[in-house]
Amino acid sequence: MRVLCYDCVVVTVLRGKGAKMARQFKIIVEKHPDGYVAYPLGLKGVVVGEGDTYEEALSDVKSAIAFHIETFGAEAFEGEPSVLEAFIAEAGVPI
């Protein structure tokens, strides 16, 4: 069974000539037997962080988000933040 939770983080990205931009992201964090995996909501493409601890995974994904935005610019965003809140639900599905 995976344990999921979400956290909000602020990522600061360097823009031209040293100017900085900060934006808040909702991050999904999954706990697996061998560590943690974290990924943001609201970005195009694949952005993932990992670590042995929750904090390491958050730090890694923040770095990955900043790199993704610096690399792809405005095209990395899905537009205006459309995710107001994130909820984790568990449901049984007959298979």
pLDDT in tens, 32-84: 999 999 998 888 888 999 999 999 999 999 999 989 888 888 778 776 666 77
Q: What is the dihedral of CA 82, 87, 93, 95, to 10 degrees?
A: 60
User: Which is more confident, 25 or 20?
Assistant: 25
Whether residue 2 is predicted with pLDDT greater than 60 in this model: the reply is no
Is residue 7 scored above 60 in pLDDT?
A: no
Give residue 1's pLDDT band: very low, low, confident or very high (50, 70, 90): very low
Confidence check: pLDDT of 30 > 80: yes
Mark 82-95 as b/e (b = at least 16 C-beta within 10 Å). eeeeeeeeeeeeee
